[in-house]
């Protein structure tokens, strides 16, 4: 009924794949074929499956194998991305999911992971650990601010009195210094600067860096994506001064206003956060509704579902030690680990 195909990096059908993504109501920014280039650039083998009928693409399922001694061996849709899974009609999805299970078995990975945004009617095991936060963008900065919960609105107003300003940057330098310091302070390995450069090159028309400054010093910075009227602040953080200056709050508010007024966006996708985490609480304070993400798994050689969560007790010592690393050393060592934590 359907023909199974695999998209390559030089495939003539890459544009057909992306045309399908843009035409689908379910597809996300992370289904675009450009992620294959990014994932491949860090050394992971991609299996971008697509189904055709009468030579027309009717469904897609991006997959990549992430294998390491420390963190296991998995076939994931999609590494480094919060959303994934099969896109198409229900029967096409089941065809692609079955194909993914067969591929996972052939590769003898520990498990298959599908990062669905919506619940699927199949027999795969579902685990909900994360929630997505998003909100419509009002028509003016005043209305955008009014839509934020009262307590968080007061924080934003405080930030507006801190003599902060923002720039839209074409250089990665300030973003990388700010972001890498932020994730180091959280005990998380940072990606390489080359990784972010690859993202900006691959999605030159869909990505943008906004940096908050005080006295021309970068305090907070965020790399965002634009897709189908949505803005997705994806990689963001601030240095130690950011908390006192409320510059992260200033940053996200200014991004909302910029996205609405200058990019004609009507939706702010605040991304996923682990349920009941600090980031989860922070986003709830903005007044956004949490939507649970039903990720699904198929065990192949593993006996139980993986637990790579930072809350896993076996990672606590590592996190505490990582927070103490010199920034330069964390920037050197981090990329050697982060590529396996997608």
Residue 310 scores a pLDDT above 80: no
Q: What Å distances lie between residue 334 and 122, 218, 327, CA to CA?
A: 37, 22, 10
Element (H, E) at 73: strand 72-77
Element (H, E) at 242: helix 241-245
* CATH superfamily label, 3-131+293-306: Gcn5-related N-acetyltransferase (GNAT) (3.40.630.30)
The rounded distance, in Å, linking the Cα atoms of 342 and 331 is 17
Q: In the Cβ-directed half-sphere of 219, how many Cα atoms lie within 13 Å?
A: 22
| Residue 127: pLDDT band with limits 50, 70, 90 | very high
Nearest Cα residue to 245 out of 265, 267, 217, 204: 217
**Extents of the domains making up the chain:** 3-131+293-306, 138-265
Q: pTM score, two decimals?
A: 0.93
Fold assignment, 138-265: Aminopeptidase (3.40.630)
Residue 309 scores a pLDDT above 70: no
Residue with tokens 């003898």: 108
CB atoms within 10 A of CB 9: 11
User: Do 3-131+293-306 and 138-265 have matching folds?
Assistant: yes
Mean pLDDT score across all residues of the chain: 94
Residue 175 main-chain phi, psi, to 5 deg: -60, -50
CB atoms within 10 A of CB 130: 21
| Token representation of residue 280 | 């989860």
């Amino acid at each position: 009924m359907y023909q199974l195909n695999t998209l390559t990096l030089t495939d003539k059908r890459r544009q057909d794949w992306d045309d399908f993504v843009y035409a689908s109501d379910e597809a996300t920014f992370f289904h675009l074929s450009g992620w294959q280039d990014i994932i491949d650039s860090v050394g992971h083998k991609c299996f971008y499956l697509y189904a055709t009928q009468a030579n027309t693409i009717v469904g897609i399922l991006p997959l990549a194998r992430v294998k390491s001694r420390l963190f296991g061996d998995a076939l994931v849709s999609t590494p480094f991305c919060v959303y994934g899974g099969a896109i198409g009609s229900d029967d096409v999805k089941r065809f692609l999911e079955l194909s993914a299970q067969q591929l996972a078995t052939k590769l003898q990975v520990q498990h298959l992971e599908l990062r669905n945004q919506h619940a699927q009617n199949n027999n795969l095991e579902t685990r909900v650990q994360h929630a997505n936060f998003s909100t419509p963008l009002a028509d003016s900065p005043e209305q955008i601010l009014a839509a934020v919960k009262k307590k968080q609105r007061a924080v934003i107003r405080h930030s507006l009195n801190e003599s902060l300003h923002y720039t839209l940057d074409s250089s990665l330098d300030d973003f990388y210094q700010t972001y890498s310091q932020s994730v180091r302070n959280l005990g998380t390995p940072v990606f390489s600067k080359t990784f972010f450069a690859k993202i900006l090159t691959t999605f030159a028309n869909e990505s943008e860096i906004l940096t908050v400054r005080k006295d021309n010093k970068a305090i907070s910075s965020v790399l965002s994506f634009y897709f189908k009227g949505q803005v997705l602040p994806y990689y963001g953080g601030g240095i130690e001064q950011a908390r006192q200056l409320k510059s992260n709050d200033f940053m996200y508010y200014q991004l909302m206003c910029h996205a609405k007024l200058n990019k004609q966006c009507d939706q702010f996708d605040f991304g996923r956060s682990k349920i009941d985490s600090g980031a989860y609480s922070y986003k709830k304070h903005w007044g956004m509704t949490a939507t649970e993400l039903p990720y699904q798994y198929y065990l192949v050689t593993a006996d139980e579902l993986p637990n790579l969560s930072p809350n896993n007790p076996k990672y606590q010592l590592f996190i505490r030690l990582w927070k103490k690393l010199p920034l330069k050393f964390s920037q050197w060592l981090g990329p050697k680990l982060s590529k396996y934590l997608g």
